[in-house]
């Protein structure tokens, strides 16, 4: 069982946690299902809002779904694979953007303000780039587990929704390598323009992704091996936070390509590992559509965004709030004296 006071020391500790995942709360689920038909609206007329309130309650383990204390945490990490020239921006942008997050100047600051969500930033050993995974595994077993454990600490009791966000120049290369390693296809299927690279850089990035998956293939036997070999520290921290959220009964809203690649490493371990997660939006990064299909989920929004930082996921928080408010606050046919239509 997950104990925040005893963080995992290695990836086998994480594998043990994954064998022991809590399930959705059936009593909360049944209570929501029983109340829903009594609310003053035609059955099913709130569409996905009804799905969301049921999902929130089931994973929070409470018949009253809540969306009053959402937290967005941006994990920042730096990537050795940037040495291969795979991004339009230099790795120095990571630290600069961390300052920008702290000073309130990034897109995610404005979105969190607009949707009334708490925002935190956690540097995941930002000053130490991962190894360049085009040459060697990005992380050692214990380093990857440490980053995951750090991510786990971002999810604290009292939060009712968690959004893992990321900042890490080069991390769409890591996301592409993860997706290619987990789900096959060709490197080009999974490699996109990230921050906006030109054609020559896209060709190089695609080659880096394909070669890395070939280089590490004998070491990548499960999702956590893939995370260690071709992931990054902020990606591992996101995966850790998603796992901790499951144990702490905090539903998760995933963001774009990088966030879903982190989550996919857990999905590869167990197909039900992401049942407590929704996908907030469909990113323009082309691999995201295929990744979303592999995860068997339907993003809430399609807003032509491709930023990361948790931005597309944070934008959906008012929808989750509205879903919870409708379920909890609506009158029933009986209390509001509204005819159910059945006796007329």
Annotated catalytic residues are 309
CB of residue 193 to ligand RBZ, shortest distance in Å: 7
Q: Report the alpha-carbon distance of residue 301 to residue 155 in Å, rounded.
A: 24
Q: Beta strands of the chain (E only): which ranges?
A: 70-76, 118-123, 161-167, 252-254, 277-279
Of the candidate spans 2-10, 72-80, 95-103, 282-290, the one that interacts with ligand NIO by CB under 6 A turns out to be 282-290
285 contacts ligand NIO (rule: CB under 6 A): yes
Query: Binder to ligand RBZ among 119, 169, 279, 291 (CB under 6 A)?
Result: 169
84 contacts ligand RBZ (rule: CB under 6 A): no
Residue 170 structure tokens: 């080069």
Q: Report the alpha-carbon distance of residue 260 to residue 282 in Å, rounded.
A: 10
Query: Binder to ligand NIO among 84, 87, 94, 172 (CB under 6 A)?
Result: 172
CB of residue 210 to ligand NIO, shortest distance in Å: 20
The partner in contact with residue 239, picked from ligand NIO, ligand RBZ, none with C-beta cut-offs of 5 to 8 angstroms by kind, is none
Give 143 or 255: the residue with its C-beta nearer to ligand NIO: 255
SS3 106: coil
309 contacts ligand RBZ (rule: CB under 6 A): yes
| Count of other CB atoms within 10 angstroms of residue 206 | 21
Candidates 265, 337, 330, 334; CA nearest to 50 is: 330
Instruction: With beta carbons less than 8 A apart as the criterion, state whether 58 and 36 touch.
Output: no
Q: Beta strands of 153-282 (E only): which ranges?
A: 161-167, 252-254, 277-279
Query: Binder to ligand RBZ among 32, 63, 81, 97 (CB under 6 A)?
Result: 97
* Residue 196: C-alpha distances to residues 200, 282, 316 (Å): 12, 17, 25
Write each residue from 288 to 327 as x if it is in contact with ligand NIO (CB under 6 A), else as -, in one continuous string.
x-----------------x-x-------------------
Query: Binder to ligand NIO among 109, 173, 241, 283 (CB under 6 A)?
Result: 283
256 contacts ligand NIO (rule: CB under 6 A): yes
Q: Report the alpha-carbon distance of residue 26 to residue 143 in Å, rounded.
A: 37
The binding site for ligand RBZ (CB under 6 A) comprises: 87-89, 93, 97, 166-173, 194-195, 307-309
The binding site for ligand NIO (CB under 6 A) comprises: 172, 194-195, 255-259, 283, 285, 288, 306, 308
């Amino acid at each position: 069982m997950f104990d925040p006071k005893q963080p995992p020391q290695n990836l086998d500790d994480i594998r043990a946690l994954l064998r022991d995942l809590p399930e959705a709360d059936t009593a909360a689920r049944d209570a929501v299902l029983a109340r829903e038909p009594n609310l003053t609206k035609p059955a099913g007329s709130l569409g996905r809002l009804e799905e969301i309130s049921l999902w929130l309650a089931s994973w929070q383990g409470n018949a009253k779904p809540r969306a009053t204390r959402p937290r967005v945490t941006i994990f920042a990490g730096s990537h050795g694979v940037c040495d291969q020239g795979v991004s339009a921006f230099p790795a120095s942008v990571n630290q600069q953007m961390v300052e920008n997050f702290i000073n309130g100047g990034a897109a995610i600051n404005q979105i969190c303000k607009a949707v009334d969500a708490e925002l935190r930033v956690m540097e995941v050993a930002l000053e130490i780039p991962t190894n360049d995974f085009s040459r060697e595994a990005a992380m050692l077993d214990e380093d990857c587990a440490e980053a995951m454990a750090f991510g786990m600490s971002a999810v604290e009791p009292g939060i009712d929704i968690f959004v893992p966000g990321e900042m890490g120049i080069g991390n769409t290369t890591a996301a592409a390598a993860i997706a290619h390693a987990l789900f096959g296809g060709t490197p080009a299927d999974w490699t996109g323009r990230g921050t906006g690279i030109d054609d020559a850089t896209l060709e190089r990035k695609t080659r880096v992704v394909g070669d890395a998956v070939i280089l590490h293939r004998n070491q990548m036997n499960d999702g956590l091996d893939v995370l260690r070999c071709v992931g990054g520290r902020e990606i591992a921290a996101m995966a850790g936070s998603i796992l901790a959220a499951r144990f702490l009964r905090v539903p998760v809203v995933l963001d774009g390509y990088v966030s879903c690649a982190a989550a996919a490493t857990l999905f590869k371990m167990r197909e039900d590992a992401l049942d407590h997660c929704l996908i907030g939006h469909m990113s323009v990064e082309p691999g995201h559509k295929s990744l979303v299909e592999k995860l068997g989920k339907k993003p809430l929004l399609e807003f032509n965004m491709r930023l990361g930082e948790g931005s597309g996921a944070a934008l959906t928080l008012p929808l989750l709030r509205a879903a919870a408010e409708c379920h909890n606050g609506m009158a029933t046919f009986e209390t509001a004296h509204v005819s159910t239509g059945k006796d007329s």
